[in-house]
Amino acid sequence: MFLRYLFIDFDSFFASVEQQNDPKLREKPVGVVPSLGVNTTCCIAASYEAKRFGVKTGTGVWEAKKMCPGIVFVEAGHTSYVKMHNRMIDVIEKCIHVEKVMSIDECFCLVPSHWQTEEMIRQKCVEIRTALREEIGGCITCSIGVGPNRFLGKVASSMRKPNGLQIIRRSDLPEILYSLSIEDLNGVGLGMSKRLGRYFGDEHVSQTERT
């Protein structure tokens, strides 16, 4: 039961849904904002094209315009995100049973024991991606992490974004985690990472700016 947890995280979910629903936004830097025309608000999501300019969740509209002059802002449409979420979960369910939905852009599945080989997992991921592309559209991608427990599955899903697959085998531990900063571990926020830094020394606890 080593590769039991398959964690799926949709890439730049709100921005991808907007690009999927409106072809004019595709391949463009997009910032999703709570309301349009307010310079003091911030992006609640950014497309990968905008991320290339450093725009991310939490970047102020005014700042995003400076970082990425061509950025297009779109007002968040939560009803369409929920609709898309439901469709995506249905599509994944046809490939592998969805054990639990964690949030609007995350869910995890339990890999049955006869699928717990790297080959089968890679094949399943291709199936999931193909189904999402064919039944929903090419703008919706996901990053998949597989590991011996849910925590490592989630950590793995964040290691190869976007549209990646990372498998963490028991034999990869602990070395595979050394490249991560402490805040890449789910549940460790800025406060906790500072506290760990105080106990173990900041040189042992690498920190990144969290968004």
Residues near Mg ion (CB under 5 A) are 9, 105
User: Residue 145 and residue 152: Cα distance in Å, rounded?
Assistant: 8
Query: Would you name the residues annotated as active-site residues?
Result: 106
Contacts of 53 (CB under 8 A, 6+ apart): 29, 67, 68, 71
Say which amino acid occupies 108.
F
In the block, residue with structure tokens 């595709």: 26
User: Which C-beta is closer to Mg ion: that of 57 or that of 116?
Assistant: 57
Give 162 or 197: the residue with its C-beta nearer to Mg ion.
Answer: 162
Question: 137 and 16 in contact (C-beta within 8 Å)?
Answer: no
- Closer residue to Mg ion (CB): 18 or 105: 105
- CA 36 vs. chain centroid, Å, equals 25
What is the smallest separation between the CB atom of 11 and Mg ion, expressed in angstroms? 6
Which residue lies nearer to Mg ion by CB, 46 or 205? 46
CB count in 10 Å sphere of residue 87 = 14
* In the complex, residue closest to Mg ion by CB: 105
In terms of Cβ atoms closer than 10 Å to its own Cβ (0-12, 13-18, 19+), residue 26 is middle
Instruction: Give DSSP secondary structure letters for 124-149.
Output: HHHHHHHHHHHHT-TT--EEEEEESS
Omega before 69 cis (within 30°)? no
